Structure 1
Amino acid sequence: MAILRLDPMMVKLLIVVLLATFLPAQGLFVPLFDWLTTAAIALLFFMHGAKLSREKIIAGSSHWRLHLWILFSTFVLFPILGLLLVWWHPVNLSDDIYTGFVYLCILPATVQSAIAFTSMAGGNVAAAVCSASASSLLGVFISPLLVNLVMNIHSAMPGNGLEQVGRIMLQLLVPFVLGHLARRWIGGWVERHRGLIGKTDQSSILLVVYSAFSEAVVNGIWHRVGVMTLVWILAGSIALLVIVLLINLLAARLFGFNRADEITILFCGSKKSLANGVPMANILFPAASVGIIVLPLMIFHQVQLMVCSFIAQRYHKAQQAAQAPAAEVRK
């Protein structure tokens, strides 16, 4: 079954985690990987900016009720559920794991997979492009502020929330804006080489994950995280995603959205971005804690892809079944 297949990116992440477990970056390699990680993050967000089409954003920007709910789901509903999980504390897990769940809950939505699943299911693609892009951009400001608001944890670097936002803007937003401004010159090349750009994105994320997990392994992450901890993280990720999907589905129908908008709300309002989350974690949290804090995000990332793939296929089949009688009548 398609739902049981591991996403290729997740397989690569597992390989990188294993590599960091047995061959972590140490000694003189640490500053080298720090520099490479910073450069990779800048390149990642430069390419994100270059891929962003202003025309598509403008085309989908008028549907304010839909965008407002998706932003509410991403930056209000999710964080509330994350805080409730910490308050409930149902399982005896380390504080860093619970911090990881709250952290994933305050992140912006994905862009690529949200749009891809919306398109597959027959949703409002223009609105999905606008909403997912807005979430990604707003997350640069909102997520670090929420970290300081809801988490009692020190940054990897000294400073308050505004200074952290400044560092994130410098490392993420500035390359993004530069990439978008350069689109007029490199946009055609980017469109023709989307496969190469995708590989650059993946390589950047994998490098950041390797660097984070190398630090975590050196600080004894696998002495604190066992098989049962991973099982509980998986169970928590599934429960969190199912709750958000159900609330979004009920809200879409309660507020009278049509089928295409309902699909967009489901897929844009339930995603969390690995591409944004791992680089931000490197800035917001102590280096020794980053690896364990992003574990829930990495597992949730795979869960959301598997579950949303299944849902998108169901919507697609339902759409095909509904169109079949009309096609017969035209014959």
Structure 2
Amino acid sequence: MRSSPRTPTIVAIALLGSLLLAGCSSTDGEAEVSDAAGSADRASLAIEAEDSAAGASGLQVGSSAPGEDREIITTGALTVVAADPRAAVQSISELVEAAGGRVESRAERVGEDERAVGSLTVRVPADKVTATVDALDGIGEVRDVSLDAEDVTATAIDLDARIQALGTSVGRLQTLMAEASTTADLLAAEKELTVRQAELESLQSQRASISDKVDMSTLTIEVLSQAPAAQIRPGGFLGGLSAGWGALLVALNAVVVAAGALLPWLVAATLVLLVVRAVLRVLRPGSSGAPRSGPGSPPSSDGPAGPDGPGDDSGPQETAPLVGSGGRRG
């Protein structure tokens, strides 16, 4: 009986179909197990994706809003010259409080020239900085005014978007905790909620700090009894000579300071060295000198006594010929 030429082809196709069906079945089973095991992780990833989308959309909308209000942080420093610095400090404090601001720090002291000096750090509403500086002319002479402005609009918009996205994420996690069916899902949602709440509180703190600095400008005011004298530095040879003399004094001062710091250590080291040498002398054998020869003492082995004293081997010595009782001189 002859087999049909199509029979091997049909058998191969049937085997290939069986393998494909088995592979699909195993893939579906693994997918179901993976889905069941990682439900909490997928929920967390979905929330993160929503947060990122919300943050990006919030930043885009905020940055493209026409005619938005700019957020500016203004800081300044100035000097006020008044005949009575103590009274001027009190008047400035009252002026700032009347403008709706507050005094953050206040100091009054006596300077090197025995004259009173005062300093204040005040917070003034941003829209009243110019009026406050102008009003200081009625207290004393305003000198050396310096005002700086920093635009933090982009930073504020970014913080607002991130705060909004994290707030939405926290709400979703709270909903997942309420709908959790297993302990594992509940613990995963609670852990993620703790992290998100900490990030949200940190961002809210940063935003509050920026808002406070924008609303209330910071001014540093120094009150003097007279304007500081302008220092005129000579140029040319005299200027170089003055600079060299100053550098020499600085170097000598450094050397003196170093010597003063090392002197106690040198004294202590010298005392320790003297004590160690004294102890070594006492413990060294024969330190009291060579023993003197006596009636019962053996003769010294240092050699025959010469004209310079016993045992003196400082110079060359000649050996006398030995003469025997009955012998000849050799």
Q: TM-score interval w.r.t. the shorter chain?
A: under 0.3
Larger Rg: 2
Give the helix-richer structure, 1 or 2: 1
Give the strand-richer structure, 1 or 2: 2
Relative contact order, CA 8 A, sep 6+: which one is greater? Answer: 1
TM-score, normalisation: structure 1: 0.20
TM-score, normalisation: structure 2: 0.20
